Structure 1
Amino acid sequence: MSDIIKINSVTEYNNMAGQETLHPLVSVIDFAKMKPFAFKKTQINLYAIFLKDIKCGNITYGINNYDYEEGTLIFISPGQVYGIDSNGEKRQAAGNAIIFHPDLIRGTSLGKHIDEYTFFSYEVNEALHLSTRERSVINECFNNIKYELEHAIDTHSKTLIVSYLELFLNYSKRYYERQFVTRNHLNKDILVRFENVLKDYFASEQPLISGLPSVKYCAEKLFISSNYLGDLLKKETGKSAQEHIQLKMIEVAKEKIFDTEKSISEIAYELGFKHPQHFTRMFKKSVGMSPSEYRNMN
């Protein structure tokens, strides 16, 4: 297993990149200024946003590999491990990055809402691919932050830098929504496979063993992140992943209720409920009547 480089501060990252530290909590990196080096896996305890200008080898993130293409944005949150597979070969990197410490946004509007930018928890194969026009907007955001960093630090520096970061992330959110639309055919495929994952789960003995399927379980089966699955479903259907799981459970429950040889409690256990009353409560909330009333009606 290869060694993992750990980066805990902006200064450490700048030292690795051979770049001057202009602000202790945030930096804009120009990879073209770095000397060629062999990339390794890195755990970065900072927020990082990478914009690649040209193809630059395979980056591994979690269990996936992703070949960077021109104009690709990837977002990484503190504690995540990423790495470029260069097989020991030294390469010249290209593109830019914004690195910032969580302390930069503490107590700010961005700090309060950072969890809303769910793409920080996406997998690498869910990267944001920019159009030419989108890329020019993103580059302008990079340049605005860089300008503030090159300006002497004063009482306005943090406010302006955080404001530009928030603007950057809001544009990224818009472009991700556009990507969900332009990749509609891929999204439909994921929805079909998601439905099949739930179907197979409830048709197996897994509910008795593990209970109701989690969003994480479904996402792993689809080889995507939980946040990406949730955002995709919300965009395509208006419902959350958890709502979809519950609706599928209700659909299966309705079929099982027709089997009058099984009690409602037995059906509840088969669906993954530890306590039948929880199933009854959820069923009534969704259908408008209890499982027993539904059985008697039919």
Structure 2
Amino acid sequence: MRVLLPDLPEFHALSGHDEHSVPGVELDFYSQEHVPSGEAEGAVLWLARGDTREKLLRTPGLKWVLTLTAGIDHVKPHLPQGVALFNANRLHDRAVAVHVAALMLAAMRGLHRFRDAQEEGRWTSTRTPNDSGLHTLDGQRVVIWGYGHIGRILEGLLAPFGVQVDGIRSATPDHQRDGLLSRADWVVLLLPSTPETRGIVNAEVLGKLKPGAWLANAGRGNLIVTDDLLAALDSGQLGGAALDVTDPEPLPESHPLWARKNVIITPHIASTTTDLVARGASLTRDFLLTLQQGQEPEGRVTDGQQY
């Protein structure tokens, strides 16, 4: 079995002769500049974009693809018929949940404002606690829209802060969803990008939120209609937003979201950790060993599955 892997040291270790290797599998390595020719049974995608991704997916003899990035919306539409697709979403889940919790805590404690003041060398204080704009999460209602594995981890992380968590799933009726949104202090978006979810958070939905509620997005930027988000921030309908993803992305330097004092933006790095590549290589090793044993690995994407 020949498999194409990312040209990274952590993946090269799989071709060694120690406990990290995968004996009996021919491994070859691709980069953004070079994709090896010839037949291969499988390909592991890691930040393979544009022409590189297209070349990998057109590999002769390809039977399966394992994508190590979060989501499948960048792969599935381009997948040749008959090629099995596997995802590794759980590789990213805990880091994403931790990042969302961090954004929420930073927003409530005004850490973004104090960081700005630090860079300016300015000591900021308030005359009374009442005008501080500082809060805790104690007693707040958090609605997780797209409640799955990440949502369950996030709920566990937030539990010590005394929040009440409600989940919205695809099967949640609209009237129940709207009721939850109207009572939420925080709405956390963990949805994938699908034809049904693109632009789902628009002026109508934002208008149903409790005035002053906060919105967090670690799903996909195009879940939110950005112009409607800006309007809700300017009117005070939204208390603020904590965004790891935006639309457009990357966010242009001149974009008005940057200037909003009640917005925290991180550059689509919720799943990033220093050991992410090593964990991806370890997952790949387990995946290949499972295949060698004649078993099907976890994470196979079904025909109707969009994420």
Q: Is the pair's TM-score, using the shorter chain for normalization, greater than 0.5? A: no
Structure in which a larger fraction of residues adopt helix:
1
TM-score (norm 1): 0.24
Select the structure of larger CA radius of gyration.
1
Q: TM-score, normalised by structure 2?
A: 0.23
Report which structure shows greater RCO (CA 8 Å, sep ≥6).
2
